[in-house]
Amino acid sequence: MEINDLKEFLDEKVLFYENPKFITSDPIQIPHLFSQKEDIEIAAFLTSIISWGNRTMIIRNASKMMELLDNSPHDFILNHEKKDLKCLEGFVHRTFNSVDLQQFISSLQHVYKNHGGLEKALEIKDNTNTYQTAIHHFKNIFFEIAHPQRTQKHISDPLKNSAAKRINMFLRWMVRDAKPGVDFGLWKSHTPANLSCPLDVHSGNVARKLALLLRKQNDWKAVSELDKNLRLLDKKDPVKYDFALFGLGVFEKF
């Protein structure tokens, strides 16, 4: 397919999928329950972290997390004491268990009290145009307080060639324009042009069928290759095509 034809085809799919109806079957519905910036971004972050596997289960367990945080995630994180974390015991989503959730709450408190919050902690500071080193730096500060070693696996590191699908999805939610009614556009210190596609089995397979991606593994090298090609289609907002690639894979079995 010629690049102009490919752009026209994918732009049509973006228009079809990027609308509020998308929310009803997607984990992004959880942060949409909130109105305060910090509540939205914390709900989005925790939801994205457990976003692998069955989407119905993801939504159910993310909703459970919000209930455990009294449906006031920012207030809970900012003001909780160690004894308050007992209420999280018993939570589990696949390999993410209550030990991990307790640590994430403590680390988020550290991020908000000592690093200016999630928006500040994930800013690109090395004059590059991707979040590769920003995510690596974020992981370092997230785990610079005492933590169980096992919990580190739940934040991927692109400098170790991980595709970092869940963090890239979270970044998409926070940074992209809110006008279509799906993403939030909350982080004004960030720019959509620097986002990378949350590469998973669905978007990866569709991207390969459309010759947007040749690399077989879903790793950071593949993310970089896909970045380059999606930016040819829209350099200001390349990750809008996540909706097209995901929708074609999940809903149309492309």
Quote the number of domains for the chain: 1
What predicted TM-score, i.e. pTM, was given to this entire model? 0.96
Asked if 209 and 254 count as a contact pair (C-beta separation under 8 A), the reply is yes
pLDDT of residue 22: 92
Rounded Cα distance, 3 and 159, in Å: 31
Sign of the CA dihedral 181, 53, 247, 243?
positive
Domain range enclosing 75: 3-250
pLDDT of residue 165: 97
pLDDT in tens, 23-36: 999 999 999 999 99
pLDDT in tens, 36-63: 999 999 999 999 999 998 999 999 999 9
pLDDT of residue 254: 86
pLDDT of residue 253: 85
Phi, psi of 96 (to 5 degrees): -95, 105
Ordered mean pLDDT values, 10 residues apiece, the chain (254 residues): 93 96 95 98 98 94 98 98 94 97 98 98 96 98 98 98 98 97 98 97 96 97 98 98 95 88
